[in-house]
Structure 1
Amino acid sequence: MTTPGFRPTHVVPGEGLPAWDAPDPDRPTAPLDPLLPVQLAERRGDWGRVVCANGWSAWVDGRRLVAVPQDPPAAGGPAATDDDPRPLLADAARALTDYRAAVDDLAEGRLDGEAFRARTRGLRLGLVLDGASMWLYDTRQGMWVYTDGTRTTPYAADRAPRAADGDHPVTQDHPATQDRPAAADHPATRVVTPEGEV
């Protein structure tokens, strides 16, 4: 269930994020899923307290959150072929249908846990719907897009930009960080409230 008034300010990076009950490394909790939209509610140094759409809250390394624009991009004019949100909605519906069918088979004993994991491997779906506004994960492009129903606009990517040849990410100092920019490569995240930045 989505908390009324929830509006994402950030997205969890593509590799997910460890999380803690408090800004204390000795109090770990469940990690956050990759590409999960969150609201950054509080900052304490590098720590950031995030709130999820269901109201659950946790502390994370705030430097690793991917900031998204506070206001959706303005949309207008007729939809061009590439701007039509319907193909992305069809992809999302297929992923949800496939996952639901696998859950049904697991619940009815036609699949065991290993077969369920194998059958759902590679399925990805991300969607936040708020009235006419929707943030939808485009699995083909590896990015979140915003749509008002008439066109889609890029909103946030889930990995660092690639070099011109497309083979390597821009950041290459350590294999574990190759798919995300180093902290110095992007501005620090900020708490955003309805009244403005804090």
Structure 2
Amino acid sequence: MTVPDFLPSHVVPPDGLTTWSAPDAAWPGVRLDPLLPVQVVERRGDWALALCSNGWSAWVDGRLLLPVPHGPPAAGQAAARTADPRPLLGAVSGDLSRYRELMEELAAGRLDGESFAERTRGMRVGVVVDGEAMWLYDARHERWCYCDGGTLETYAVERMPSGNSAEGASAAYREVEP
């Protein structure tokens, strides 16, 4: 049985995806099968209500769903990209530069340890470059992103979904220990 007008908007990541009966991380349910097509019918922060073709629905971490493209771009338009990695790379570079400046001030004796700790509190930076592959930590969205040099995709998230963020990101689910 297929739901009338069911048009998949996303696919479950290759590792499957945990479900919840409500947008509350306290009560996980069954897992959705890997690569199952779903239609997102509602969003609440990081949560997405995923409708399956048989009519069953459940809440999932919407950041982890893989979007389904719907046709090629119109003639004369550039092909869609997952995300431009340059803004995140610039933000990571700026944060790293600020940390280095503070470290230099500490090493030169112009900054004491307590001030250094206070001025770096909450700062989180992460970059791994391995040839053409790069992983960047997006502190604003608490996730690791993978870049192949041209596109940026969420690779792992740090926390369970919350109701606070209005932005969803697609990812293969790999929870990261802080």
Larger relative contact order (C-alpha < 8 A, sep ≥ 6)? 2
TM-score of the aligned structures, taking structure 1 as reference length: 0.42
Max Rg structure = 2
